[in-house]
């Protein structure tokens, strides 16, 4: 355990950590906070109706630590737990941490120093890495490695820079946010892929942003996590919400590069969800199927690919196999 000065706390940053049935990983996760060289002002632990030993294990680790608080609620999913935790935050900045991941011991100290030097920041973005990546998922999980470019003075320029440097990743866990920025926007939607829907609109509402290439976050890829779980209609419903947000931004943003990158991302997601449905033979509720069929790709190339998938999937599948031989 790192030695830390007594009562050395950040007055700026709180951590919100939802917990649901992660008894195999929770000790490593909470220890990575306890072992910080500077402690966050508060650690808000939201028990989202766990049925295993996650909370008893947590209580043992945080005994006697007054800045660690556990709040219990009925199971409502990750978005619900994050939204609940956000209402308990009293600091200017908040960090969302998943309870099966880990943090670098210098995370709070370094971010606190950045916030002290740049007092008006809305978002601090940083790099991450992967814990325990199964060999069958190599190349399928993002690296979370960002390019350092420090200050951007508007959200659209920040989003543009993230896209253009291959530094955009749809995870809130590699960002620290100004609490007020989140509170004045809609909370996390109760869907799968909530980060993909949430991040672009939050970034575009920001002003002063900072990006570093330092690795502070370690994502665990486990067999039964959302990232690796079996595809279902819930995934499709979540992706449709993402597409709705993307289309709204595409129609309203004046930044041509943001519009370009989001159109490409929109098209890729649209193709992807139709392929998921075809390959996994997912049966959607009628209203969701109708909603999905109303989505239109941007550009002739993607429109043609989408038509092939919808109407002539065996032909599309054959052409794809030939192309990738």
pLDDT of residue 141: 74
Which residues on neighbouring strands pair with residue 167, listed in sequence order? none
CA distance 317 to 309: 8
Whether residues 24 and 79 share a domain: the answer is yes
Whether residues 39 and 154 share a domain: the answer is yes
- Say what the pTM is: 0.91
pLDDT of residue 232: 81
Q: How many other C-beta atoms are found inside a 10 Å radius of the C-beta of residue 212? A: 18
In a domain, 56, yes or no: yes
8 A C-beta contact, residue 32 and residue 103: yes
Mean pLDDT by 10 residues, the chain (325 residues): 64 98 97 98 98 98 97 96 97 97 98 96 97 67 88 97 96 97 90 93 97 96 59 88 96 97 96 91 89 93 94 86 66
Measured in degrees and rounded to the nearest 5, phi and psi for residue 70 equal -110, 130
pLDDT of residue 187: 86
pLDDT of residue 317: 82
pLDDT of residue 107: 98
Whether residues 118 and 189 share a domain: the answer is yes
pLDDT of residue 1: 45
Q: Which domain holds residue 246?
A: 233-323
pLDDT of residue 4: 47
Domain boundary among 179, 194, 220: 220
Whether residues 276 and 192 share a domain: the answer is no
In a domain, 2, yes or no: no
Whether residues 59 and 192 share a domain: the answer is yes
Whether residues 289 and 161 share a domain: the answer is no
């Amino acid at each position: 355990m790192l030695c830390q000065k007594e009562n050395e706390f950040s007055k700026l940053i709180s951590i919100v950590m939802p917990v649901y049935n992660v008894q195999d990983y929770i000790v490593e996760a909470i220890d990575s906070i306890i072992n910080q060289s500077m402690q966050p002002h508060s650690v808000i632990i939201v028990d989202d109706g766990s049925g295993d030993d996650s909370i008893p294990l947590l209580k043992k680790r945080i005994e006697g630590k007054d800045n660690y608080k556990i709040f219990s609620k009925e199971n409502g999913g990750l978005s619900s737990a994050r939204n609940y935790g956000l209402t308990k935050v009293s600091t200017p900045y908040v960090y969302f941490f998943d309870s099966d991941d880990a943090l670098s011991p210098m995370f709070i100290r370094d971010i606190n120093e950045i916030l002290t030097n740049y007092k008006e920041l809305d978002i601090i973005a940083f790099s991450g890495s992967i814990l325990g990546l199964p060999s069958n998922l190599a190349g399928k999980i993002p690296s979370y490695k960002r390019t350092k470019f420090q200050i951007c003075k508007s959200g659209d320029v920040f989003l543009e820079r993230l896209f253009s440097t291959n530094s955009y990743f749809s995870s809130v866990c590699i960002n620290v946010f100004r609490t007020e920025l989140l509170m004045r926007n809609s909370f996390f939607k109760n869907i799968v892929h909530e980060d993909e829907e949430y991040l672009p609109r939050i970034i575009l509402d920001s002003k002063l942003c900072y990006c570093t290439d330092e690795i502070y976050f370690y994502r665990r890829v486990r067999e039964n996590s959302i990232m690796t779980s079996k595809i279902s209609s819930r995934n499709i419903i979540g992706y449709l919400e993402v597409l709705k947000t993307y289309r709204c931004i595409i129609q309203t943003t004046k930044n041509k590069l943001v519009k370009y990158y989001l159109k490409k991302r929109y098209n890729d997601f649209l193709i992807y969800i139709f392929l998921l449905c075809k390959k996994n033979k997912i049966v959607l509720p009628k209203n969701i199927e109708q909603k999905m069929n109303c989505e239109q790709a941007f550009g002739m190339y993607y429109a043609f690919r989408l038509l092939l998938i919808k109407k002539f999937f065996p032909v599309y599948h054959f052409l794809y196999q030939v192309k990738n031989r």
